[in-house]
Amino acid sequence: MKLKMFLVLLVFLFLIAPASAALNMEEAREKALEYAGSGEWRDVSGPYTYQSHPYYYAEYGKGYDTTGLLILDGETGEIITNKETAEKISYTHYYLADVNASYISGYESNRDVYKLSAAACRQKAEMFKSELPAYKEADRKKVELSAAAYSNIAVQWDELAALFDRIIPVLTDVKDGNLSYENAVILTEQVEEFEKALKGIGKSYDEIIEVTGIYCDVLLANSNLHTLSDQQVEDYKLLTVTALKQEKKEIVENQLSYIELDNKEMEEKTKSDMQFKDAKLEKAETPGFGLLAAVCAVFIGTVLYGRKRK
């Protein structure tokens, strides 16, 4: 009788023991299906990791509408009820899910553009420096402002290119499968650096626009040192300032607006995910609970039966 009780207990412990091997995508989809309601589709992404532990992101819906969300343990398939962990996996999903070769190529292209911009600005600074000997001291100092402004923004472009040189390996790691919360955090911090750098470049554009006007005033006051007419100087000033303002809008202001919008959307999606998670948890039943209860009943029944026979 004791042997029978031992075997039942052994089966019971085996059934409740957590799985040690990570679930593959097909297994995760099957697990997610167990929680789907009538007529619900499920879309599973992952595995994402937090502190080296795998998780799957399972979205549920009907038609075009999302009806629920669950974060599943990547080893056991169990529902994650811890809010902090669920939020981290949701955030990781939105931040990393779309990273692919094309996405990285865009960063590489921008980095190369930043390097070219730095080179062009350095060349512009050297041009102003080469003109300095022709002017008297007062005007020379004014032209030096243009040289310094272009030298400064050249350094900023170089720093932005260097930042992208640090971002690209992290994106490549994500593309190669390391969908970790830790990588999402690194990229978040680097985007914050990018945002700060863009704001600095925006101020430098304003400075260059200002010194362009000063430089043109110097040209007008020293018409004997060049062959440009006053109208040509005014045209140069208008075209240069217009081009600089357009560059600032496209390169700085539009990018900053995109970052702000993206951050807001990320926050709203994570918040919405937690609401969908709570709604789904109210309906979900833990898989295997019926089997677990049945095994418990068999075990308890066996014990009682053994006692009765005694």
Digit-coded pLDDT (tens) for 229-266: 999 999 999 999 999 999 999 999 999 999 999 889 88
Checking if the pLDDT of 85 tops 80, the result is: yes
Residue 92 lies in a domain: no
| Residue 59 shares a structural domain with residue 164 | no
* Cα(277)–Cα(168) distance, integer angstroms: 33
Q: What number is the average pLDDT over the span 302-306?
A: 40
Q: Tell me, yes or no, whether 259 lies in a domain.
A: yes
| Two tokens, residue 209 | 């626009």
Same domain, 74 and 130: no
* pLDDT for 286 beyond 50: no
| Cα distances (angstroms) measured from residue 179 to each of 44, 148, 196, 252, 285 | 14, 43, 26, 29, 28
Please check whether residues 300 and 238 belong to one and the same domain: no
Judge whether 215 lies within some domain. Answer: yes
Which residues, other chains included, contact 62 with Cβ-Cβ below 8 Å and sequence gap of 6+? 39, 40, 41
For the chain, the C-alpha Rg in angstroms (whole number) is: 32
Calculate the alpha carbon distances from 37 to 68, 71, 291 in Å. Answer: 10, 16, 20
Q: How many domains does the chain divide into? A: 2
- Distance from CA of residue 44 to its chain's centroid? 20
Q: Do 300 and 200 share a structural domain?
A: no
- For tokens 């994500």, the residue is 174
Q: Provide the pLDDT for residue 287.
A: 46
pLDDT at 162: 97
Classify residue 36: in a domain, yes or no: yes
**pLDDT tens-digit map of 171-203:** 999 999 999 999 999 999 999 999 999 999 999
Residue 91 covered by a domain: no
Residues 6 or more apart whose Cβ sits within 8 Å of residue 42 = 29, 32, 33, 35, 36, 58, 59, 60
> What is the maximum span of the chain, computed from C-alpha positions, in angstroms?
122
8 lies in the same domain as 133: no
Residue 284 is assigned to a structural domain of this protein? no
The chain-wide mean pLDDT, for the chain, equals 86
Phi-psi region of 52 (alpha: psi -120 to 50; beta: other; left: phi over 0): left
Give the domain range for residue 273.
Answer: 101-277
Please report whether residue 214 resides in a domain. yes
At residue 97 the predicted structure's pLDDT band, cuts being 50, 70 and 90, is confident
68 beta partners: 60
